[in-house]
Amino acid sequence: MADGEKVGAEAFLPERLSLPRMREAAAGCRGCHLHQHATQTVFGEGRRSALLMLVGEMPGDREDLAGRPFVGPAGRELDKALEAVGIDRREVYVTNVVKHFKFEERGKRRIHQTPKRPEIDACRPWLDSEIEVVHPRALVLLGATAAKAIFGSSFTLSRHRGETLPAELAPIVTATIHPSAILRAPSEARQRERQGFTNDLRAVARALAQTA
Ligand code: URA
Ligand code: SF4
Give the pLDDT confidence of 155-183 residue by residue, as tens digits: 999 999 999 998 899 999 999 999 999 99
How far, in whole angstroms, is CA 158 from its chain's centroid?
A: 19
Which CATH number belongs to the domain containing residue 43 in this structure?
A: 3.40.470.10
Q: Which of 10, 1, 19 is nearest to 122 (CA)?
A: 10
For residue 192, is pLDDT > 90? Answer: yes
For residue 3, is pLDDT > 80? Answer: no
Query: Which of 43, 100, 121 most suits a substitution to test ligand 2, by most atoms within 8 Å of the C-beta?
Result: 100
Write out the residue range of the structural domain in which residue 131 sits: 17-211
Residue 5 within any structural domain of the chain: no
List the beta bridge partners of residue 172.
138
Contacts with 77 (C-beta within 8 Å, 6 or more apart), sequence order: 179, 180, 182, 183, 194, 197
Residue 7 within any structural domain of the chain: no
Which ligand lies nearest to the CA atom of residue 143 in the structure?
A: 1
d(CA 22, CA 15): 9
Residue 2 within any structural domain of the chain: no
Q: How much helix, strand and coil, in percent to the nearest 5, is found in the chain?
A: 45, 15, 40
Query: Which of 33, 35, 103, 124 most suits a substitution to test ligand 2, by most atoms within 8 Å of the C-beta?
Result: 35
Q: Look at the chain and report how many structural domains it folds into.
A: 1
Q: What is the pLDDT of residues 102-147, one digit of tens each?
A: 999 999 999 999 999 999 999 999 999 999 999 999 999 999 999 9
Residue 93 within any structural domain of the chain: yes
pTM of the model: 0.95
